[in-house]
């Protein structure tokens, strides 16, 4: 009878990771400063990360100057309610946070995604508790080829592993190539994205009446996650929440 001694069995991925660490010591993904122990952001870059903390708008997750009360929304969300139920982000998209996201886009970031996933979990715990399914924002094929990695899917995979909420990568797909969103007005962005996403015909049963948690790396104007949300709701999803690693934070000015 074959007998495997659990103590001597080598965990191959872990062994290879420590071998790589031995050859290439782990460096801070932002400043490339060498860090001791497991790979991560160095202490000085960590201090410069701009975490989003309450008070925030219950709907959009944007930081507010004053506490809006339980489930209170900010002015922007009251004027123009988003199609999703709630959105949360761990970091403000600026400085070190923005550098991290860029690093995620253009390098092998499965390790980086695993390192950053707990920050997203912490910022959005109730959203994970309510979710039936995690769905990443899809990336168009030509862009995927250029960047090599789909950072939203990597982040979604890490979040699924951490939260235990199942992930489905192929629910949403890019329907057509869209023009670059940069420099477009909100209305132009929205029409640029109209029809940009669709739910795969064979995936509709998986989202019918379900609570979907949509994952993207960054929320800028929100046009992309809003377009994905509308597509999911139209295809029968019960409710959609959104989590991103970072979001652009613009001061919400209140009329006096
Ligand atoms: Zn650093």
Domains of the chain in start order, with CATH, are: 12-48 (no CATH), 51-247 (3.40.50.2020)
Average pLDDT, the chain: 84
How open is the CA angle 99-191-237, to the nearest 5 degrees?
Answer: 80
Ligand 1 centroid to Cα of residue 244, in Å, is 22
Residue 256: predicted pLDDT: 42
* DSSP H helix total and E strand total for the chain: 11, 6
Burial class (CB in 10 A: 0-12, 13-18, 19+), 154: buried
Confidence of residue 17 (pLDDT cuts 50, 70, 90): low
Ligand 1 centroid to Cα of residue 99, in Å, is 10
Confidence of residue 184 (pLDDT cuts 50, 70, 90): confident
Q: What Rg do the C-alpha atoms of the chain give, in angstroms?
A: 20
Ligand 1 centroid to Cα of residue 159, in Å, is 23
The β-bridge partners of 219 are: 247
How far apart CA 33 and CA 26 sit, in angstroms, is: 9
- Confirm if 74 and 64 have CB atoms less than 8 A apart: yes
CA distance to 27, 107, 219, 247, per residue, from 222 (Å)? 32, 24, 5, 9
Confidence of residue 133 (pLDDT cuts 50, 70, 90): very high
Ligand 1 centroid to Cα of residue 107, in Å, is 16
Mean pLDDT of the 89-103 span: 90
Ligand 1 centroid to Cα of residue 29, in Å, is 7
């Amino acid at each position: 009878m074959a007998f495997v001694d659990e103590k001597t069995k080598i965990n191959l991925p872990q062994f290879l990771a420590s071998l790589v660490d031995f050859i290439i010591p782990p460096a801070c993904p932002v400043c490339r400063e060498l860090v001791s122990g497991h790979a991560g952001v160095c202490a000085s870059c960590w201090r410069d990360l701009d975490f989003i903390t309450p008070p925030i708008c219950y709907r959009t997750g944007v930081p507010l100057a004053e506490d809006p009360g339980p489930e209170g929304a900010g002015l922007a969300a009251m004027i123009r309610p988003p199609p999703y139920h709630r959105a949360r982000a761990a970091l403000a998209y600026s400085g070190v946070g923005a550098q991290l996201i860029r690093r995620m886009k253009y390098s092998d970031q499965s390790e980086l995604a695993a390192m950053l996933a707990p920050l997203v979990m912490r910022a959005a715990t109730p959203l994970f508790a309510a979710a039936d399914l995690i769905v990443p924002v899809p990336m168009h094929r030509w862009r995927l080829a250029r960047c090599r990695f789909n950072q939203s899917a990597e982040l979604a995979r890490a979040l699924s592993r951490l939260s235990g909420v199942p992930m489905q990568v192929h629910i949403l797909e890019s329907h057509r190539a869209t023009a670059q969103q940069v420099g477009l007005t909100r209305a132009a962005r929205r029409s640029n994205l109209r029809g940009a996403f669709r739910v795969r015909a064979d995936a509709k049963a998986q989202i019918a009446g379900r609570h979907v948690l949509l994952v993207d790396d960054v929320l800028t104007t929100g046009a992309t996650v809003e377009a994905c949300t509308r597509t999911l709701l139209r295809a029968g999803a019960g409710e959609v929440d959104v989590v991103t690693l970072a979001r652009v934070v613009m001061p919400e000015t209140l009329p006096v």
